[in-house]
Amino acid sequence: MADNGFEKPAKLLWKPRKEYIELTVREMKAMTRGGAILSGHIQTVKCRTRQDVLKSIEIVDNKIQIPLKEFEFESMSEREITAQIQLFMTSSVGEKRMPESMATLIVRC
């Protein structure tokens, strides 16, 4: 769901006292076992903060903004940094079978 629910690539936005990753929500499609095609979008997003608390993220104009301070960072080499965060989402596709899904968002810079 997460891979299909957002446009690629994400944007890194850096403003005074506000650094975040911005993702744009897009329409996604899924096929049922019976062969019917469903379409919809991500409805709610929460992230697991560094304090291990679930924090709701607003969807505004089909975009979400995840504060960089909530990501876990790891230096992979002198040239590459990886950051990750857990996201919990609901969608209008498959609500009955998947009321909420968790995905790990990994960002490489």
What pTM, to 2 d.p., does this model score?
0.82
pLDDT score at 97: 57
Calculate the average pLDDT of the chain.
87
Measured in residues, the chain has a length of 109
**Cis peptide bond N-terminal to 67, omega within 30:** no
Distance CA 91, CA 44 (A): 7
Buried b (16+ CB within 10 A) or exposed e, 46-62: bbbeeeeeeeebebeee
pLDDT in tens, 82-92: 899 999 998 88
Give me the DSSP letters along 56-82. Answer: EE--BTTEEEEEGGGSEEEE-SSS-EE
pLDDT in tens, 18-66: 899 999 999 988 777 788 888 888 999 999 999 999 999 999 999 999 9
Structural domains in the chain (count): 1
| Domain around 36 | 2-108
Considering only CA atoms, which of 98, 66, 60, 63 is closest in space to residue 85? 66
Residue 70 — left, alpha, or beta (φ > 0 → left; ψ -120 to 50 → alpha)? Answer: alpha
